[in-house]
Amino acid sequence: MALDLVVIGLGHVGLPLARAAVSAGLATAGYDVSGAVVSSLAAGRSPVGGVLDAEVRAMLDAGFHATADPGILEGAQTVVICVPTGLTPEGLPDLSAVEDATAAVAARLRPGTLVVLESAGYPGTTEEVVRPLLERGSGLRAGEDFPLAYSPQRIDPGNGTWNVRNTPKIVSGCTSLCAKYAVAFYGRFVDDLVVARGTREAEMVKLMENSYRYINIALVDEVALFRHRTGIDVWGVLHCAASKPFGFAPFQPGPGVGGHRIPVDPRYPAARAESQGFPFRMPAAAHDVLGRMPGHVVDRALTLLAEARGRTEGGRVLLLGVTYEADVADVRETPARPIAAGLLDAGVAVSYHDPYADEFTVDDGRALPRATDLQEALNQTDVAILLQDHSCYAREALGRARCALLDTRGKVADSRVTLL
């Protein structure tokens, strides 16, 4: 069967995209190098939050299938690359997954196939990395023999309002004709398309969106740190500021930032700019503030332990919510990891409660015991730290807890609760 679409990378970006395409009637398949992901999908189980098992089964019933065989790319009308991009150990952009996926496409590329990159990259990734690999590997020329486009993903896991179809989609192409092909493709299952001037502008859109969030979260976190010198109610300040109907967008303080993109994306334009002799100062300043937040939480928790027990060693701390976002089963880059590590290093016994995380380890591999009964766990700990405000954490129940409670989210109003 001829395929309208093959999605490369069936994670938090690629699987929702495939779901939207299947729902619109496109003959769709997925290619992923992870055998575990492919096996999970074949069994009707979703490997990511935000896509339900029932939705995967509906996709399979509609003809979707996943494979680890790159031969599936042969003859596809459109190929969309949705593989993860991160940072190297040196903190530089890591595009190795994009390069590997592009090489797989190039070996099987046919004239007329639309190739779209959705993975995040620095401005120039499509033209300077993907295009040369495709042209060298296939002998074809982008813009002449096949259309090449870039479209940044805008997936918000757990968002019940905005999805692939109704979120405005940025599209671009290496040529104006390439962009038209991309518009025709995405127009089959996305309501609102916005055409960028070129691929570099579209690539910068995603980086700017997440840098905007990164910097503004850092701003409110720094205000939260400042509150210890002034005694101000930072959540009250934000509540009042948010009443302004223009010129202000509310962000909330917390123990740090997480997820695969927000801590990573600001480094992409910064690294690119630095290589060209231009310093990006704002992301660096935000990184400094956000990097201090996990240590601040650890210090606050140790102070509470010392007040409750007279000493910190041997104390018990319960982490409430270790995912990076509320009501989402995703622990990538979560600030819970450095917080747990800091407490463990201080001789504290650390456990966690989170209905979305079956297991949780810090970066050096130490596993935390998981509590399944919230009330029992609260009764058996010295200090509980609300790291993520999952909907299961009713403020009344937390306010009645016998243990000391450190609230990093401003959720529990009680005189016995210590705020971030």
Q: What is the pLDDT of residue 73?
A: 97
Averaged pLDDT, 68-74 = 96
- Determine the length of the chain: 420
Q: How confident is the model at residue 30 (pLDDT cuts 50, 70, 90)?
A: very high
Average pLDDT over residues 98-114: 98
* Domains of the chain listed by start with CATH number: 5-197 (3.40.50.720), 202-420 (3.40.50.720)
pLDDT interval class at 63 (50, 70, 90): very high
Q: Between 267-275 and 281-309, two packed helices, what is the crossing angle to 10 degrees?
A: 140
CA 247 to chain centre: 26
pLDDT of residue 168: 97
CB environment 213-237: b (16+ within 10 A), e (fewer): bbbebbebbbbbbebeeeeeebbee
Which is more confidently placed, 399 or 97?
97
Sign of the torsion angle spanned by Cα atoms 172, 175, 176, 181: negative
**Higher pLDDT pick, 204 / 259:** 204
- Confidence band for 298, pLDDT divided at 50, 70 and 90: very high
Confidence class of residue 396 from pLDDT cuts 50, 70 and 90? confident
Helix ranges, 346-382 (H) = 374-379
For residue 243, the model assigns a pLDDT of 95
Tell whether the model's pLDDT for residue 365 goes beyond 70. yes
pLDDT above 80: residue 2 = yes
Nearest to 301 by CA among 271, 276, 338: 338
pLDDT at 292: 94
- pLDDT top residue among 364 and 196: 196
pLDDT in tens, 190-210: 999 999 999 999 999 989 999
Which residues have CB under 8 Å from 61's CB, separation 6+?
A: none
Measured between alpha carbons, how far is residue 226 from residues 36, 217, 222, 269, 295 in Å?
46, 14, 6, 29, 15
Angle (CA) 188 189 195, round 5°: 75
Contact 146, 109 (CB under 8 A): yes
Strands 316-320 and 349-353, by their bridges, are parallel
Residue 368: per-residue pLDDT = 97
8 Å CB contact between 78 and 113: yes
What number is the average pLDDT over the span 137-150? 98
CA distance 231 to 227: 5
- For the chain, the average pLDDT equals 93
d(CA 207, CA 201): 10
CA quadruple 120, 122, 125, 127: dihedral sign:
positive
Distance CA 322, CA 386 (A): 9
Q: In the chain, what percentage of residues exceed pLDDT 70? A: 99
CA 167 to CA 277: how far, in whole Å? 36
What pLDDT score was predicted for residue 415? 61
* Contact (Cβ atoms closer than 8 angstroms) between residue 410 and residue 252: yes
Q: In the beta sheet, which residues pair with residue 142?
A: 146
Backbone dihedral angles phi then psi of residue 245, each to the nearest 5 degrees: -80, 5
| The pLDDT value given to residue 1 | 62
